[in-house]
Amino acid sequence: MAQYSIAVVVGSLRRDSFNRKLATAIAKLAPADFSFNQLRIDDLPLYNQDDDANQPASVKRLKAEIAGSQGLLFVTAEYNRSVPGVLKNAIDHASRPYGQNAWGGKPAGVMGVSVGANGTAMSQQHLRNILAYLDVPTLGQPEAFIQAKDGLFDTAGNIGEDSKKFMQQWMDRYVAWVKTHNA
Ligand SMILES: Cc1cc2nc3c(=O)[nH]c(=O)nc-3n(C[C@H](O)[C@H](O)[C@H](O)COP(=O)(O)O)c2cc1C
């Protein structure tokens, strides 16, 4: 059984999301003692502080999945130079009620793919800002700003040849990062 269970949050609900494909493909580069669980965020209501004392079942589930993980992986789209609202909504939900932040202390990796040349760089910087406040240590290097282009994925959905070396290096650093924080 995997020793390190990673809670993966994909910052896009789009059916054919490049970011979901990336999250699925990169997980295959991890060693056998790591497992990756993509968290469901599309059934979360819009966050409303009035509900803090009575969080819906979907929020409780999200928080339990995060609590049971040894690390986080955010793979996000960039919307209008920031994080998509669906991702921020999920982050806000699991950060509350005040004093019961589920994210805190979990080591996180951040990456993303966009059709634009900046490869979600601004979205990721905004995300790092949010995570710093939530007491989530993030892997600094290598940064992974990926542009969606032909060959990024092979026909089986794996990382394509041109990007494989970089993605493997990223995963190796991430694995070491998670292990350090769980030691
Ligand atoms: C509302 C909206 C805003 C977007 N803003 C940006 C942006 O700021 N930068 C960028 O590179 N791409 C932007 N895009 C294009 C996304 O990179 C593209 O839709 C990408 O496929 C989203 O990721 P996904 O495939 O995982 O859904 C935007 C797309 C939408 C729908």
SS3 call for 54: helix
Residue nearest to atom 17 of ligand 1 (CA): 114
SS3 call for 176: helix
What whole-number distance in Å separates Cα of residue 8 and Cα of residue 109? 9
Closest CA to 147 of 113, 122, 123: 113
With the C-alpha atoms ordered 98, 87, 124, 3, is the resulting torsion angle positive or negative? positive
> Is residue 78 in contact with ligand 1, taking CB distance under 6 Å?
yes
Residue nearest to atom 9 of ligand 1 (CA): 78
pLDDT score of 11: 98
Which residue is listed with tokens 């951040």? 110
Question: Mean pLDDT over residues 131-152, rounded?
Answer: 97
Give yes or no for a contact between 120 and 162, defined as CB atoms under 8 angstroms apart.
no
> Is residue 115 in contact with ligand 1, taking CB distance under 6 Å?
yes
pLDDT score of 170: 98
Full-prediction pTM beyond 0.85? yes
Give all strands of the β-sheet with 145-147 in edge-to-edge order: 34-38, 4-11, 71-76, 108-114, 145-147
* Residue to substitute in 41, 79, 145, 146 for testing ligand 1 pocket (most ligand atoms within 8 angstroms of CB): 79
* Residue to substitute in 115, 118, 127, 153 for testing ligand 1 pocket (most ligand atoms within 8 angstroms of CB): 115
Q: Measured in angstroms, how far is the CA atom of residue 153 from the centroid of ligand 1?
A: 18
pLDDT score of 1: 56
Q: Measured in angstroms, how far is the CA atom of residue 19 from the centroid of ligand 1?
A: 10
Residue nearest to atom 4 of ligand 1 (CA): 79
List, for residues 76-115, the tens digit of each pLDDT value.
Answer: 999 999 999 999 999 999 999 999 999 999 999 999 999 9
List, for residues 8-57, the tens digit of each pLDDT value.
Answer: 999 999 999 999 999 999 999 999 999 999 999 999 999 999 999 999 99
What whole-number distance in Å separates Cα of residue 118 and Cα of residue 114? 8
What whole-number distance in Å separates Cα of residue 53 and Cα of residue 170? 39
Closest ligand 1 atom to the C-alpha of 11?
26
Query: Residue 2: is its pLDDT beyond 80?
Result: no
Q: At what angle do helices 161-182 and 18-27 cross, to 10 degrees?
A: 70
Closest ligand 1 atom to the C-alpha of 77?
23
